[in-house]
């Protein structure tokens, strides 16, 4: 297995309540990552994370207070596996959005997170890009299928109306009434053509 060189989080966005912030800090403690916390007068917090008993590699995250929530937007990079895993778990646990790059000697793996779930995984090696995973939009597909069913129902209604008009035309001896029915049939045939396309 290839040795990971670094992990980078870009376009990271987390929204935490006061209770979530305590859980957030506990998550990092559970991964043996120490947090140095600075609280500012406006209630915003700046967290600096580093692995316990290790000097050097740390991550700085700023949480601004917005509407009763702590909001973190930004990016960070670490070579520390414990710290990278804690960040990954935090994105997932707190339904954050992020783009994560894992750097290896000859390639990079990119993970797109949306609402805490991996939406897409791509491997890039030189000029080659390979899609590893992409989350299917099952709800969207079902909605599209439902919409197709609406079109089918509309087609059936139009066909029934056309058949009724054709029967009416055959039963009508009046030339002017048949001309009016013919105009209505032309209009319905245009609608049928548009829906079938």
Q: How far apart are CA 94 and CA 110, in angstroms?
A: 20
User: Fold for domain 6-135?
Assistant: 3.60.90
How are beta strands 97-103 and 58-66 bridged, if at all? unpaired
Answer yes or no: is pLDDT of 195 > 80: no
How many other CB atoms are there within 10 angstroms of residue 140's CB atom? Answer: 9
Q: Which two tokens stand for residue 18?
A: 């006061």
Which pLDDT tens digit goes with each residue over 32-51?
A: 888 899 999 888 999 998 76
pLDDT tens per residue across span 113-171: 999 999 999 999 999 999 999 988 778 777 777 766 777 788 888 889 999 999 999 99
- What is the rounded average pLDDT for all residues in the chain? 88
pLDDT greater than 90 at residue 99: yes
User: Is the pTM of the predicted complex or chain greater than 0.85?
Assistant: no
Compute the distance between CA of residue 64 and CA of residue 43 in angstroms, rounded to an integer: 8
Which residues pair with residue 34 across a beta bridge? 50
Residue pointed to by tokens 């989080």: 9
For residue 144, which phi and psi values (nearest 5 degrees)? -65, -40
> What was the pLDDT predicted at 148?
66
Q: Are 46 and 37 a contacting pair, CB within 8 Å? A: yes
86 — pLDDT class (breaks 50, 70, 90): very high
What is the predicted pLDDT for the residue at 152?
78
Alpha carbon distance 106, 88 (integer Å):
22
Closest CA to 191 of 166, 154, 150, 148: 154
- At CA 160, angle to CA 156 and CA 164, rounded to 5? 170
Strands (E), 40-163: 45-51, 58-66, 69-78, 97-103, 108-114, 117-125, 128-134
């Amino acid at each position: 297995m290839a040795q990971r060189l670094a992990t980078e989080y870009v376009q990271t966005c987390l929204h935490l309540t006061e209770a979530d912030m305590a859980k957030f800090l506990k998550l990092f403690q559970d991964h043996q990552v120490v947090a140095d916390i600075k609280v500012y007068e406006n209630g915003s917090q700046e967290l600096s994370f580093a692995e316990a008993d290790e000097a050097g590699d740390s991550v700085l995250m700023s949480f601004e207070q917005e509407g009763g929530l702590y909001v973190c937007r930004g990016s960070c990079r670490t070579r520390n596996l414990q710290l990278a895993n804690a960040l990954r778990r935090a994105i997932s646990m707190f339904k954050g959005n992020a783009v994560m790059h894992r750097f290896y000697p000859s390639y990079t793996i990119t993970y797109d997170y949306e609402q805490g779930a991996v939406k897409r995984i791509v491997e890039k090696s030189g000029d080659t890009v390979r899609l590893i995973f992409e989350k299917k939009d099952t709800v969207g597909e079902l909605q599209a299928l439902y919409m197709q069913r609406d079109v089918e129902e509309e087609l059936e209604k139009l066909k029934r109306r056309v058949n009724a008009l054709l029967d009416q035309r055959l039963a009508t001896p009046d030339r002017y009434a048949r001309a009016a029915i013919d105009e209505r049939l032309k209009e319905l045939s245009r609608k049928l053509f548009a829906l079938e396309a």
